[in-house]
Amino acid sequence: MLSTNYIWNTNILSQMNIRERVISQIKEKKSIDVSEFINICLNSNHGYYSNKNPIGKQKDFITAPEISQMFGEILGSYIINYWEENIGGVFNLIELGPGKGTLINDILKVGNLNKKFIKLMNLTLIEKNYQLIDLQKSLIKNQNTYKPNWINDFHINNKYPSIIFSNEFFDCFPIKQFYKKEKWIEKYIEYNSVEDIFYFENKSTKDSYLINKLKKFNNYNVAEISLSREKYFNKICQFIKKNKGIIITIDYGYLEPINHFSLQTIYRHKKSHLFDNLGNQDITAFVDFGELINIAKENNLTIDTYCSQKDFLLINGLEPRKINLQRNKDNTMRQKLEKDFKRLTESSQMGEDFKVLIVSCL
């Protein structure tokens, strides 16, 4: 058994690595913008999404598939219906950021009811976290017979139609932050080596590309833009446009700007500060679904659905599924299913903040 001292030391070491990286980047450039800061914390070696398992009751956060199997079952039946009605042949099933593998595992349990679906499926899991890949491998290998393909970025070489889906994936992308004071000002981060602290600095935005992008926020006082998220989404839209299929994106976010910063840092289920626990805490921001819809439209894709998670789950049969699962169960289990159902659908919980965007090309 590891002593707590050892755990503390490894945490400090990994924090120092990320801290040193951030400091050296700042020293090199004088200052870095918020998205550069987040990118180092999340995506560099030893960064939060490179090698830690953050998902679970004892970790930093919990996601819908981890709350209940019903989430994956409803999404799974939607996917299989879509495949039966629109594809019917060989296809790619692609999950972006599968976490512990729970969602794909529940989807495959539903998929296993249709032998043809499973036989004609090329399963690809896009994940860059090696600890999570190990978890995904053990979960999927234990229950199913086909061979998934793991890659760490979106490079699909075949031309089959694809069903691409993700839950809480696009909120992981770094964002730039702006506020308006007559003109748009971008938040930057600098480092005071005497006091050994990070602090925010402001720079007026001169880049014409950004100024153009900020136009849609002109009636608002603040803006968040994720260039890497937009680039990624554009890439999968282009792929779908070329090879046909569907993209199902579930995440928390908004259609119209919300006029407040949504950047959130979470350490062990508690809110923290961006400058704390470097490399050891979750950093997320609301997804600008309005922008994703624009990108899909620019790629001539059809917007099939944009709705709340609550509506998506209820329209696609969550309530009858819950009642079915409750049958012949003891009181404790029935109550748990009821509680999970509420967590997924109630407005005060995940029901309204989480949105479902489905875009397609037939």
Ligand X SMILES: C[S@@+](CC[C@H](N)C(=O)[O-])C[C@H]1O[C@@H](n2cnc3c(N)ncnc32)[C@H](O)[C@@H]1O
Shortest approach of ligand X to residue 362 CB, angstroms?
Answer: 26
Shortest approach of ligand X to residue 153 CB, angstroms?
Answer: 6
Q: Which amino acid type is present at position 347?
A: S
Cβ contact 280:11 at 8 Å: yes
Give CA angle at 39 (33, 40), nearest 5°.
100
Shortest approach of ligand X to residue 41 CB, angstroms?
Answer: 12
Candidate segments 9-17, 62-70, 78-86, 141-149, binder of ligand X by CB under 6 A: 62-70
> Residues 266, 270, 273, 275: is their CA dihedral positive or negative?
negative
Cβ contact 239:154 at 8 Å: yes
Residue among 214 and 236 whose Cβ is closer to ligand X: 236
Residue nearest to ligand X (CB): 97
Q: Does 251 bind ligand X (CB under 6 A)?
A: no
d(CA 304, CA 306): 7
**Alpha helices per DSSP H over 30-68:** 34-43, 48-51, 64-67
Residue among 132 and 248 whose Cβ is closer to ligand X: 132
Which residues, numbered 127-166, are part of the site for ligand X (CB under 6 A)?
A: 127-129, 132
Candidate segments 60-68, 115-123, 308-316, 342-350, binder of ligand X by CB under 6 A: 60-68
Cβ contact 286:254 at 8 Å: yes
d(CA 162, CA 114): 17
List beta partners, residue 223. 178
Residue among 26 and 42 whose Cβ is closer to ligand X: 42
Reference 353, options 317, 311, 323, 320; nearest CA is 311
Q: Does 216 bind ligand X (CB under 6 A)?
A: no
Residue among 139 and 185 whose Cβ is closer to ligand X: 139
Which residues, numbered 165-204, are part of the site for ligand X (CB under 6 A)?
A: 167-169, 172
For helices 130-143 and 102-111, angle between their N-to-C axes, nearest 10 degrees: 20
Residue among 55 and 313 whose Cβ is closer to ligand X: 55
Token readout for 357 is 């965007």
Residue among 103 and 110 whose Cβ is closer to ligand X: 103
Residue among 76 and 97 whose Cβ is closer to ligand X: 97
d(CA 352, CA 347): 5
Out of 87, 125, 126, 295, which residue is the one contacting ligand X (CB under 6 A)? Answer: 126
Candidate segments 58-66, 86-94, 202-210, 296-304, binder of ligand X by CB under 6 A: 58-66
Write the interaction track for ligand X spanning residues 74-113; mark x where CB under 6 A is met and - where it is not: -----------------------xxx---x----------
Cβ contact 127:136 at 8 Å: yes
Residue among 123 and 132 whose Cβ is closer to ligand X: 132
Q: How far is CA 76 from CA 82, 124, 313, 316, in A?
A: 10, 15, 11, 10
List beta partners, residue 202. 187
Candidate segments 2-10, 122-130, 212-220, 236-244, binder of ligand X by CB under 6 A: 122-130
Q: Does 47 bind ligand X (CB under 6 A)?
A: no
Q: Applying CB under 6 A, what is the total number of residues that bind ligand X? A: 18
Q: Does 265 bind ligand X (CB under 6 A)?
A: no
d(CA 111, CA 76): 7
Q: Does 63 bind ligand X (CB under 6 A)?
A: yes
Shortest approach of ligand X to residue 334 CB, angstroms?
Answer: 25
Q: Which residues bind ligand X (CB under 6 A)?
A: 49, 55, 63, 65-66, 97-99, 103, 126-129, 132, 167-169, 172
